[in-house]
Amino acid sequence: MDAMQELGNIGAAHAATTLSQMLSSPVEMSVPKIKVVDVAQLGSHIGEESAALVVFELQGEIPHGGYIIFYISRKSAVYLTNTMLGLTDPDRPLNEMDESALLEVGNIMASAFLDATAELLGFIMLPSPPVLTIDMAHAAMQSLIAQMQEDIDEVMLFSTELVCAEHKIDSDIIMMPETSTLKTFVERLENLMNPS
């Protein structure tokens, strides 16, 4: 589990760095959490609040490896794109320009996350083209879980909070691997720690 923690840590740290560069502001990162969540309890972790989710499928050496998600509340999403686009109104609706900006941020962060974890593990993980949804967070996560390869009762979430206090931006980067991908992670990590 410690090694898994480290895996999430390295990915999130790289994602935090890229976010900080894009905003030209410091970004604080929480201790990465690995949560095992029963699907029946998903609502206690992710509610019905409106949020923007930029979703990527994990591809590369493991096809359909699971998902990586850049999650940002609707309010924070406006602060984020305002900062990027040089705007100031925090109450405006999100438009196409915001959507492009969110996709771009998500893209850069997911790539940074996966580059770092792939380097540690020694195999290639690539993000699929991104899909953006701005809707009830629970509904989006539930839809992803329903279309995972295996019929599962629990999901493992690698979740790290990224906060930019200066611009009031609170976001999360979440990796939700398939069971088969988790097995590959564990095998690789064991090999790294106990090289034969």
Interacting residue ranges for other proteins, rule: CB under 8 A: 39-43, 46-48, 50, 55, 57, 64, 128-129, 131, 133-147, 151, 153
Q: Of 36 and 40, which has the nearer Cβ to other proteins?
A: 40
Closest distance of CB 131 from other proteins, Å: 5
Closest contact distance (angstroms) between CB of 196 and other proteins is 36
Residue 38 forms beta bridges with which residues? 154
Which of 91, 151 has the CB closer to other proteins? Answer: 151
Minimum CB distance to other proteins smaller for 104 or for 135: 135
Nearer to other proteins, 139 or 165 (CB): 139
- Closest approach, Cβ 145 to other proteins, in A, equals 8
Instruction: Give CA–CA dist 50/33, Å, rounded.
Output: 22
Q: C-beta of 83: minimal distance to other proteins in Å?
A: 23
Neighbour-count burial for 124-152, b at 16+ CB within 10 Å, e otherwise: ebbbbebebebeebbebbeebbeebeeee
How many angstroms separate the Cα of 166 from the Cα of each of 7, 80, 106, 112?
28, 11, 20, 22
Q: Minimum CB separation from other proteins for residue 167, in Å?
A: 24
Which residue's CB is nearer to other proteins, number 21 or number 149?
149
